[in-house]
């Protein structure tokens, strides 16, 4: 029987091509502009497929998985997989994959761009100039914060929360700015201590000492609201918070309060608690730079993410162990063996 793959969003062409070239029956289920299907439409479509390739922001709950007792795999398009109920997938014997590595440098670039844009008021100064408000030499000055040592030659401290591939790539980039990098990520404390130019710090000290705090940890039960009112209160009034990881790691309401009361200087965000909805008040703040989750958004990288997701999907379709498994325990489950007909 022909094996089937469901892609419920507008996947880049390079990924589509790989899927089309396979012998599988491919269903691309989305609107003319890539609009994703409703939960009801997705659940119905999952009944008639063998492997699902969801977009990284597309929720795949237990109910969706339960719609098809023979689903062979879920190949997530994204390195983060908090959109998928992985615990249920493992229980049900469904392998789940992600697309790590290919987006590391691109996302680290965006974190840096956001850090620099926020520190030097780039979007605000651009709009001021672009809109013709700049009438006189001098005019508004947009006094920024140094990223490098600045006139007083004081190296700045970059605090990195989460020292995985992207956190490490951000640390590498900080060397060019002569920054002192400190990192918090208990499971990889020894790796941090071994990394040249980076020292380990517990979270509170990192928040107290850092001029810039950049978040690069996955969203888990443990990291949900890791940065709340108390943590923001520990930061310097001149400090800047950058989040290109996952919105719910930060208590967004508390952040709006801290920015309004200038408890911290500014924030640069690419992710939010309830994307694409923003917490009320966030767009009223001059000291916030807001981007629409474009961390990995380059043609090359989004294309390579599609290649990796397609390869993971085809491997699971053939009952093979895919490269980027996130729940390897599933291979021990009898349910998994049943699903792949073993
Ligand atoms: C994706 C991301 O844009 O990889 C991730 O975890 O957040 C981004 O690269 C997002 O997952 C949409 O697919």
The whole-number mean pLDDT for each consecutive block of 10 residues of the chain, a chain of 342 residues, reads 90 97 95 92 97 96 97 98 98 98 98 98 96 85 95 97 98 98 98 97 98 98 98 98 98 98 98 97 97 98 98 96 97 93 86
- Between the alpha carbon of residue 320 and those of residues 70, 311, 312, 317, 327, the distances in Å are 15, 11, 9, 7, 14
Catalytic residues: 246, 275, 293
> pTM score, two decimals?
0.96
Cα torsion at 254, 257, 259, 262 (round to 10°)? -120
Contact 241, 259 (CB under 8 A): no
User: Which residue CA neighbors atom 4 of ligand 1 most closely?
Assistant: 78
DSSP run (H or E) holding 325: none
272 lines ligand 1 (CB under 6 A): no
Task: Determine the Cα–Cα distance for residues 267 and 51; give it in Å rounded to an integer.
Answer: 39
Say whether the peptide bond before residue 276 is cis (omega within 30 degrees of 0). Answer: yes
**CB neighbour list of residue 199: distance below 8 Å, 6 or more residues apart:** 180, 181, 182, 183, 192, 193
| DSSP track, 68-136 | -TT--EEE-BSS--TTB-HHHHHHHT--EE---STTHHHHHHHHHHHHHHHHTTHHHHHHHHHTT---S
Instruction: Judge if the beta carbon of residue 296 lies within 6 A of ligand 1.
Output: yes
d(CA 212, CA 161): 11
Which tokens is 125 given?
Answer: 């100064």
Query: What distance in Å separates the CA atoms of residue 76 and residue 15, rounded to the nearest whole number?
Result: 13
Question: Does 103 sit in the ligand 1 pocket, CB within 6 Å?
Answer: yes
| Residue with CA closest to ligand 1 atom 3 | 296
Q: Which atom of ligand 1 is nearest to the CA of 294?
A: 3
Q: To 10 degrees, what angle do helices 299-317 and 13-21 make? A: 20
Any idea of the CA torsion for 318, 321, 323, 325, to the nearest 10 degrees? 120
CB 54 near ligand 1, within 6 Å: no
Report the C-alpha gap between 74 and 244 in whole angstroms: 24
Atom of ligand 1 nearest to the CA of 98: 4
Predicted local distance difference test score (pLDDT) of residue 1:
63
Q: Which atom of ligand 1 is nearest to the CA of 99?
A: 4
Closest Cα to atom 5, ligand 1: which residue? 78
Instruction: Answer yes or no: is the C-beta of 164 below 6 A from any ligand 1 atom.
Output: no
Please state, in angstroms and rounded to a whole number, the distance separating the CA atoms of residues 252 and 277. 11
Compute the 3-state secondary structure of the chain and give helix, strand, coil in percent, each to the nearest 5.
40, 15, 45
How many A from CA of 203 to the centre of ligand 1? 26
Q: How far is residue 46's CA from residue 52's CA, in Å, rounded to a whole number?
A: 7
CB atoms within 10 A of CB 29: 16
Q: What is the DSSP letter of 25?
A: E
The tally of CA atoms less than 13 A away on the side-chain side of residue 338 is 10
Helices (H) and strands (E) in the chain, counts: 13, 12
């Amino acid at each position: 029987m022909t094996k089937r793959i469901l892609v419920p969003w507008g996947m880049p062409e390079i990924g589509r091509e790989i899927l089309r070239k396979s012998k599988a029956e491919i269903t691309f289920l989305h609107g003319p502009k890539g609009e994703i299907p409703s939960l009801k439409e997705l659940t119905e479509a999952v009944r008639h497929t063998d492997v699902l390739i969801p977009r990284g922001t597309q929720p795949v709950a237990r109910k969706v998985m339960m719609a098809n007792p023979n689903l062979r795999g879920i190949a997530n398009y994204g390195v983060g997989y908090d959109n998928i109920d992985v615990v249920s997938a493992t229980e049900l014997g469904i392998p789940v994959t992600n697309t790590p590595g290919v987006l590391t440098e691109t996302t680290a670039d965006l974190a840096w761009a956001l850090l620099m844009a926020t520190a030097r008021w780039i979007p605000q100064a651009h709009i001021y100039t672009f809109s013709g408000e700049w009438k006189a030499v001098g005019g508004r000055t947009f006094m920024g914060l140094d990223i490098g040592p600045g006139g007083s030659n004081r190296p700045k401290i970059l605090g990195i929360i989460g020292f995985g591939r992207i956190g490490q790539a951000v640390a590498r980039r900080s060397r060019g700015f002569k920054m002192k990098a400190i990192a918090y990520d208990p499971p990889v404390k020894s790796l941090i201590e071994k990394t040249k130019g980076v020292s380990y710090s517990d979270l509170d000290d990192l928040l107290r000492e850092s001029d810039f705090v950049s978040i690069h940890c996955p969203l888990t039960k443990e990291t949900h609201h890791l940065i709340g009112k108390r943590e923001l209160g520990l930061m310097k009034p001149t400090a800047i918070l950058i989040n290109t990881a996952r919105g719910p790691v930060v208590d967004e309401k508390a952040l709006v309060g801290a920015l309004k009361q200038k408890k911290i200087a500014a924030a640069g965000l690419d992710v939010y608690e309830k994307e694409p909805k923003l917490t009320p008040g966030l767009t009223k703040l001059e000291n916030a730079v807001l981007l629409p989750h474009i961390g990995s958004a380059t043609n090359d990288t989004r294309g390579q993410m599609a290649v990796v997701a397609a390869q993971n999907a085809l491997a699971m379709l053939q009952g093979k162990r895919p490269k980027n498994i996130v729940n390897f325990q599933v291979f021990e489950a009898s349910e998994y063996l049943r699903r792949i007909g073993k």
